[in-house]
Amino acid sequence: MFDGYKKYIPFVPQPIENRTWPDKVVTQAPVWCSVDLRDGNQALVDPMNLKEKLDYFHTLVDIGVKEIEIGFPSASETEYEICRELIEGGHIPDDVTIQVLVQAREHLIKKTFEAIRGAKHVILHFYNSTSTLQRKVVFQMDTDGITKIATDAADLIYEMSQPLIQEGMDLRFEYSPESFMGTEMDYAVEICAAVLDHLHATAEDKVILNLPTTVENCMPNQFADMLEYFIRKLPGRERAIISLHPHNDRGTGVATTEMGLLAGAERVEATLFGNGERTGNVDMVTLAMNMYTQGIDPQLDFSHINAIRDMYERCTKMKVGERQPYVGELVFTAFSGSHQDAINKGFNYMEQSGSGKWEVPYLPIDPTDLGREYEPVRINSQSGKGGAAFIMHHKFGFDMPKEMHTEFGAVVQAETDRVGTELRPEAIYELFRKEYLDVNGPYRLIKHSFHEETAPDGTSAVTFTGTIQHKDTKFVVVGEGNGPIDAFFTAIHGQKMDRFTFVDYKSHAISMGSDSRAVAYIHLRDQSGRDVFGVGVDSNINLAPLKGILCAINRAVNR
């Protein structure tokens, strides 16, 4: 039996008493910081060029992101030049803060200060790794040595920042104990408190403490315990803004972030669609829209999500998955028959109730809020009778009576079984057209007329006169009734085609191209008790139901 699992060391949870985060509720959006241009960019097979980075930056600004980590300007000349172009080229709005990342190393810090000169609002983000594993394997250093790296960097950054601040730059500091999730919490508190002291943090001049889930190694609830413990123990908590930087190694980055917000975090570093090293960073879109569905304004605008996705795919050369929350091609579709039926009923309920609240089963968000092309139902062999009817209604305007859903659903089901693949809406319309709209024989109405008379008591009588052709034979029929349909049935009484009982009728207006027409659905029953439906479309509201009757009769005869 495979026993490779035995080589892994289980995560040891942080003990905590009287935790409070499970009883809390997220009520407002965090401060958002995009790390697409740094953390996301460094994870690409082909990092973005200057034009792509500028396109991406302007999209983030349009979305409403106010803090954007633009890169690691000390890492390469390319990164340095991109930083300079953003500043000198006037790309940064006055209400947007750029963030630059640097390791806690002297020469890199000095290079970073050169890169940010002339910017109005800057967050200088420095870091060093603090985890047990990194201390043992990478640095081979004790905690005092790791702390000294951080505090020496803090001293240098504070000293070099003073002239820039005096010249008017809004320069703030951010420190990340990298691999926070793998660090003993008491030591994480100790090193962060030391950094706050060396940066002279106060309640008025807060320092961002960014606590990265650099590699996910525990469950989200365990991370929330760690975070609440950290915040409780941190001296001078009011001097810090608690920020999260989650990755997605266990596939729980979103849950880790949401529980982290419950535990006291105020800020989140994320990327669009979760791009980043290995399994990626946490997905800003998913986090924001999760809040949106709970009635919380995320302070970000994703109402044109398709354009954002197109920019992302163009600039990163990455593809957004079909099941990616909120943006994937298939997230607003339903193949299951029961799901399709419930969606249909949900839309009908909203239309009838007029409550203004979103109450559609299986769709947690209105796709139109994201600017998505509305296509909630797609048809394959697993679909039910309601799905095809839904598409015909919402895509093409044909609102079939419920009793007709089963008949047309069987037509669609037979076709999906035959082709073995999904049917697109256009193919479903073609089935509807062939089954109902293009039925021209064996009976055809050649010409007709209506005459209506109103009696003194207000009742009216309609006389129908028409010429009907059956194969090569033409015959004239005349009948009187209380309306066009009744008069037509009276007229054909005694003819061979008179083998059906009228059951029901429904009509509505439909726009077909540049004109508006009437569509009539006719429900007949033959002498054996079998139901048959017909559809008639015409600009004449009296003629549409007659076409529907002939359609139903012809379909019954032909089958």
Residue 389: predicted pLDDT: 87
Q: Supply the CATH number for residue 513's domain.
A: 3.30.160.270
For the segment 193-218, what is each residue's pLDDT rounded down to a tens digit?
A: 999 999 999 999 999 999 999 999 99
How many alpha carbons fall within 13 Å on the CB side of residue 208?
25
Q: Are residues 356 and 289 in the same domain?
A: no
- Which pLDDT does position 508 carry in this prediction? 94
Identify the band that residue 506 occupies on the pLDDT scale cut at 50, 70 and 90: very high
Of 72, 76, 38, 36, whose CA–CA distance to 56 is shortest? 36
The mean pLDDT of 14-27, rounded to a whole number, is 96
Token digits for 277? 């090293």
Same domain, 424 and 489: no
Q: Tell me whether residue 192 is in a domain.
A: yes
Residue 84 has pLDDT above 60, yes or no: yes
Angle between helices 143-166 and 106-116 (to 10 degrees): 20
| Mean of the per-residue pLDDT values of the chain | 92
**Co-location of 180 and 293 in the same domain:** yes
Q: What is the CATH number of the domain that holds 200?
A: 3.20.20.70
Domain boundary at 283, 316, 349, which? Answer: 316
Q: What is the pLDDT of residue 131?
A: 77
Residue 20 lies in a domain: no
**341 and 302 within one domain:** no
Confidence of residue 273 (pLDDT cuts 50, 70, 90): very high
Rounded Cα–Cα distance for residues 481 and 120 (Å): 83
Q: Give the bridge partners for 466, in sequence order.
A: 448, 477
Q: Does residue 321 lie within any of the structural domains? A: no
> Do residues 83 and 167 share a domain?
yes
pLDDT tens per residue, range 241-260:
999 999 999 999 999 999 99
- Is it the case that residue 169 has pLDDT exceeding 70? yes
- Across the range 502-517, mean pLDDT stands at 84
Contact 175, 195 (CB under 8 A): yes
- Measured distance CA(140)–CA(368) in Å, rounded: 54
pLDDT over 70 at 348, yes or no: yes
Q: Looking at residue 138, what is its pLDDT?
A: 67
Report helix, strand or coil for 505.
Answer: strand
Q: What is the pLDDT of residue 67?
A: 98
pLDDT score recorded for residue 534: 97
Least confident of 11-25, 246-260, 292-306, 444-458: 444-458
Is pLDDT of 385 > 70?
no
**298 and 180 housed in the same domain:** yes
Q: Is residue 332 part of a domain?
A: no
Tens-digit pLDDT profile for residues 214-224: 999 999 999 99
Enumerate the H helices of 173-244 as residue ranges: 185-198, 220-233
If asked whether residues 296 and 165 sit together in one domain, one would say: yes
Q: What is the pLDDT of residue 384?
A: 63
**DSSP character at residue 254:** H
Among 342, 415, 350, 340, residue whose Cα is nearest residue 375: 340
End-of-domain residue from the set 414, 434, 454:
434
- Return the pLDDT at 73: 95
Closest CA to 99 of 125, 61, 120, 128: 125
pLDDT over 90 percentage in the chain: 76
For residue 5, is it within any domain?
A: no
**Torsion over CA: 187, 193, 197, 198 (sign):** positive
| 3-state SS assignment for residue 209 | strand
SS3 state at 242 = strand
Q: Long-range CB contacts (< 8 A, 24+ apart) of 315-323?
A: 315/48, 315/52, 315/53, 315/55, 315/56, 316/40, 316/44, 316/48, 316/52, 316/275, 317/44, 317/45, 317/46, 318/44, 318/273, 318/275, 320/273
Where does the pLDDT of residue 376 fall: very low under 50, low under 70, confident under 90, or very high at 90 and above? low
pLDDT of 135: 80
In CATH, what number is assigned to the domain containing residue 417? Answer: 1.10.287.1400
Q: 284: domain range? A: 25-316
Q: Are 536 and 482 contained in the same domain?
A: yes
Q: E strand or H helix at 547, and its extent?
A: helix 543-558
Domain count, the chain: 3
Based on the fold, state whether residues 153 and 240 are members of the same structural domain.
Answer: yes
Check pLDDT > 70 for residue 1.
no
Q: Which of 415, 434, 453 is the last residue of a domain?
A: 434
Q: What is the pLDDT of residue 27?
A: 96
In a domain, 31, yes or no: yes
Residues 74, 200 within the same domain: yes
Element (H, E) at 306: helix 305-316
pLDDT over 70 at 512, yes or no: no
Which of 210, 216, 214, 171 is closest to 191 using CA atoms? 210
Query: Is residue 160 assigned to a domain?
Result: yes
40 and 120 both lie in a single domain? yes
Q: How many CA atoms lie within 13 A of 43 on its CB side?
A: 17
Q: Are residues 124 and 226 in the same domain?
A: yes
12-26, 105-119, 131-145, 291-305: which range is least confident on average? Answer: 131-145
- What is the arithmetic mean of pLDDT over 496-513? 86
Residues 6+ apart with CB under 8 A from 355: none
Q: Is residue 103 part of a domain?
A: yes
CA 501-503-504 angle, to 5 degrees, is 145
pLDDT at 355 exceeding the cut of 90: no
Q: Show the CA angle centred on residue 146, arms to residues 106 and 165, nearest 5°.
A: 40
Query: Rounded mean pLDDT of 373-387?
Result: 66
Confidence bin at 424 (pLDDT 50/70/90)? confident
